Structure 1
């Protein structure tokens, strides 16, 4: 692993900081600077940032094809047609299906849901799913978190008398499927003001439009916020604008009145916290929901999320927990095999990309394995296995490098692909594998920069430890919810020394008490998997990169630094 590069973000004009600080009741200058770096550069922008309001979410009818979508749903209801809510098997897809199904089924009973089998059908809309709809007399499919590239499949459905409403948020190809309505804010001809919704978010906008059309009070949509928060957190979409508002209210709903399925997961995870954060959602709830689709079936996740009975939710949750335990074991074993195959291959070590294929690896965890590989070998990474006689897998990227574009450049070797800048899925014939690996490496090596091949920590500001007070942290907490484009601020402090002997706790974690070389105030810090620094920081000043957090133990809270790196 390369040494981590620290990138101190560009300083903001001091006069601009002074003006905004005064407007915000003499807000700490460092925090004001961090705000401005995030585009929050006026009193009005700060008011919207610190006080997210549901009044600021957009009119769903601004989205291209929304009127057509609502009209088709109303037509289906008036004609007593059967509606099938169809979604992908990951967190975004299963939360989207749960959201649309649970809301629509309040107003219409001829409705069911369908999640494709990861192993038999693969990602997105499948011919098998369309056949299921046609054979069971479903004449309308609402596809969620998938479908934007399903041109042939929509044509096939039309011939079978099945209409499609597509709700997607992935990048479209050159052509749009000939569905009744295609809702995707990333369509070039869509003027919806916010482009970064999750798939579940697009489903929510459809339900919001349905509610407006029927004169249903917006408050009836509030119980859907918890699902939105989970999808926004898990799918790693931008935590800005509308997403940030929905995540803010979704977390409130999770912490005050979660649906039985989410309550059951919180209980089973033994999360003894007063208030869950986006981090808790990402690392505790999302993996459990995801595990169902990875190991068994995404249907289990939907069953968990739509049940109105806590007793039923706890039964479903037990199964999902078992899936998650199995997923962890598979993830660990396959990651070890993947790292071994890289370290023993001199050719692969010299490449600027990593592409791994093993026909025996479990399809459900290869995306996680790709992320783990990047932790050790910091390069755009694709991990593939064999499924239905084809090579299929997941791609993950490094900061600043668009892996979707790289895969698109090699699409002549692929059968299908889709995704985002940092994560994508792809399928190819086995005989195309070697050609794809060479083409992908050629594209990556000719376009990636040296900086992009070095792990980087973006540092928002340099801070003296003495500045970290309860008041400072109270304001900092209001920057949440955190996520892409609004990550937790990372600070740098220099000339730091130990205020007590180092301790190694748990699995290789470094626990320290720190103070400034010339200061008196002490602060606790922990560095996960950073025990190797223990001897390097004895009897000398050093610099730290960290985020500020809170440690809760036996009901007591105190400020604690979460170390990201140390430089001596």
Structure 2
């Protein structure tokens, strides 16, 4: 692990903010690092309000989208809500379809089959619309590059409204409306919304047209929060407001489908981490193992008993997904070791019978062992399909673009992408990808980095600090849980390894004459020796609260020690 202290912001700025907010300088430092420099900024950050959401009509083509939907309703047309099989896609489809169905019956949903149709808008989906008399398709979380598909639909008198958040290509599809804040000609003030977030802006605009206010739409925000958490978009601006209120809905009054997935949990209050690790994998498991339709059924079901049945099925898919993920990861690691590919700058592995639904997760797992840009390929029909994952600071999408002559199609983001290629191009592509990464990656990017917010002493850790840090939530990219460095600490002698294979550690630590603090380090078992015999060590950690027997105490969640 590389320990990197974040650059110190201007001392004057920190002092002014600390004074304005009546907080310690290091708390002001944390805020300035997050782009919060004034009392007003801090007010928006600590007290998110729905009034901070932008007018949806600021988005390019929003008026065209609303007017086409209103025309469809006036003419009694059939509307098909189409979206991808991942969390962002299925939540977006659930959101837009259930909103439209609340006042118009001729609405159906379509999720492409991951194996038969693949990612994005499919010709099969358009044929389904044609065969069933749908004249308008609203595509969510996909479609920004679907020029041929939209043209194919047009020949069949089917109109498209595209709601996407991925980067556009050189040309846009000829849809009735293309809602994507990443369009070069779109001046919408915030361009980091996820697909479900764009779907929410669409229903916000439709609601405005029907004299609804934002408070009439709050019940849909549980879906938006799930998508924001799962799609790893920046937790800033509108995303943070939507996630903040979405978490309130998840905790106070979630839709039956979300309640069915979470009601057996012992936790009183779910946070964004619970959404990422509990809700999102289950929604995803439907599309990975069976079909994304199952997730939409669960998320749009209003009868709790029926929702519980759907949730039980999805729980079974999630268990199967976990088993596959474990098995394929082991096979992929063996392949890297057997082929002596450890010295490469990339990990590119292939086996034709690997389950397409879990190759993205496996790519992330491989990065935990071999920290470098990773592609996991499997066979999909007569082609090879892959999921790509990247390391911090390296744009895997750009790397794929540089090798695109060997690819059939590709799409995605800086850190995650998908692609297909012909079998005969696999080796050529693998070599080209290795070459481009080797030429463009910085050697430091091949060593995992822990970015440290600031150094503090244990005397700074007080109940007041934990109360303030709680208000930094929800956490996510660009607003990560603060990581602190404290030097020269010792275990008081109560430390011990934990876990079946002693892979974790539990300590009780002090610095000089400070009070002792409990600390837990997951995956740090190999470093336990550094803490024995009261030897001094440095630690990186987050400040947590531990609930035990109805008592809440401060605990450090160790990230690394040395």
- TM normalised by structure 1 equals 0.97
Supply the distance in 2 between the matched residues of 1:259 and 1:506 (Cα, whole angstroms).
Answer: 36
CA contact (8 A) 2:57 2:205 kept: yes
Structure-1 residue corresponding to 2:136: 140
CA contact (8 A) 2:458 2:514 kept: no
Selected match of 1:528 from 519, 522, 525: 522
Supply the distance in 1 between the matched residues of 2:52 and 2:530 (Cα, whole angstroms).
Answer: 50
Selected match of 2:66 from 70, 74, 80: 70
Supply the distance in 2 between the matched residues of 1:322 and 1:413 (Cα, whole angstroms).
Answer: 38
Q: Where in structure 1 do 4 or more consecutive aligned residues deviate above 6 Å?
A: none
Structure-2 residue corresponding to 1:552: 547
- SS of corresponding position for 1:330: helix
Structure-2 residue corresponding to 1:498: 491
Selected match of 1:337 from 324, 327, 331: 331
Selected match of 1:12 from 9, 12, 33: 9
CA contact (8 A) 2:286 2:314 kept: yes
Supply the distance in 1 between the matched residues of 2:212 and 2:39 (Cα, whole angstroms).
Answer: 34
Structure-1 residue corresponding to 2:438: 445
- SS of corresponding position for 1:538: helix
Once the two structures are superposed, residues 42-73 of structure 1 have per-residue CA deviations (whole angstroms, 9 ceiling, x without a partner) of 11111110011111100111111101000110
Structure-1 residue corresponding to 2:531: 537
- SS of corresponding position for 1:466: helix
Shift of 1:213: 1.3
Tell whether 2:227 aligns with 1:234: no
Question: Does 298-307 or 8-17 show the bigger shift?
Answer: 8-17
Tell whether 2:318 aligns with 1:318: no
Selected match of 1:149 from 136, 145, 149: 145
Supply the distance in 2 between the matched residues of 1:520 and 1:55 (Cα, whole angstroms).
Answer: 44
Supply the distance in 2 between the matched residues of 1:467 and 1:226 (Cα, whole angstroms).
Answer: 35
Tell whether 2:285 aligns with 1:291: yes
Tell whether 2:239 aligns with 1:274: no
- SS of corresponding position for 2:342: helix
Supply the distance in 2 between the matched residues of 1:312 and 1:33 (Cα, whole angstroms).
Answer: 49
Supply the distance in 1 between the matched residues of 2:129 and 2:548 (Cα, whole angstroms).
Answer: 52
Tell whether 2:168 aligns with 1:172: yes
Once the two structures are superposed, residues 379-405 of structure 1 have per-residue CA deviations (whole angstroms, 9 ceiling, x without a partner) of 000111001111101100000000011
- SS of corresponding position for 2:178: strand
- SS of corresponding position for 1:350: coil
CA contact (8 A) 1:466 1:519 kept: no
Tell whether 2:445 aligns with 1:455: no
Selected match of 1:84 from 65, 80, 84: 80
Shift of 1:554: 2.7
CA contact (8 A) 1:418 1:425 kept: yes
- SS of corresponding position for 1:117: coil
Structure-1 residue corresponding to 2:254: 258
Supply the distance in 1 between the matched residues of 2:338 and 2:145 (Cα, whole angstroms).
Answer: 38
Shift of 1:15: 2.3
Supply the distance in 2 between the matched residues of 1:430 and 1:329 (Cα, whole angstroms).
Answer: 28
Supply the distance in 1 between the matched residues of 2:29 and 2:283 (Cα, whole angstroms).
Answer: 38
Structure-1 residue corresponding to 2:349: 356
Supply the distance in 2 between the matched residues of 1:44 and 1:278 (Cα, whole angstroms).
Answer: 25
Question: What 5-or-longer segments of structure 1 have no aligned partner?
Answer: none
Structure-2 residue corresponding to 1:191: 187
| Aligned residue-pair number | 559
Shift of 1:13: 2.3
Supply the distance in 1 between the matched residues of 2:497 and 2:294 (Cα, whole angstroms).
Answer: 40
Once the two structures are superposed, residues 150-170 of structure 1 have per-residue CA deviations (whole angstroms, 9 ceiling, x without a partner) of 110111111111110000000
CA RMSD of aligned residues (A): 0.9
Once the two structures are superposed, residues 211-268 of structure 1 have per-residue CA deviations (whole angstroms, 9 ceiling, x without a partner) of 111212322211001001000000000000000000000001111101101111002x
Supply the distance in 2 between the matched residues of 1:547 and 1:520 (Cα, whole angstroms).
Answer: 18
- SS of corresponding position for 2:4: strand
Supply the distance in 2 between the matched residues of 1:552 and 1:272 (Cα, whole angstroms).
Answer: 11
- SS of corresponding position for 2:489: strand
After superposition, residues 358-437 of structure 1 pair within 5 angstroms as 358-437=351-430
Supply the distance in 2 between the matched residues of 1:491 and 1:455 (Cα, whole angstroms).
Answer: 17
CA contact (8 A) 1:28 1:472 kept: no
Shift of 1:533: 1.2
Shift of 1:316: 0.3
Selected match of 1:127 from 104, 123, 126: 123
Supply the distance in 2 between the matched residues of 1:107 and 1:415 (Cα, whole angstroms).
Answer: 42
Question: Does 526-535 or 360-369 show the bigger shift?
Answer: 526-535
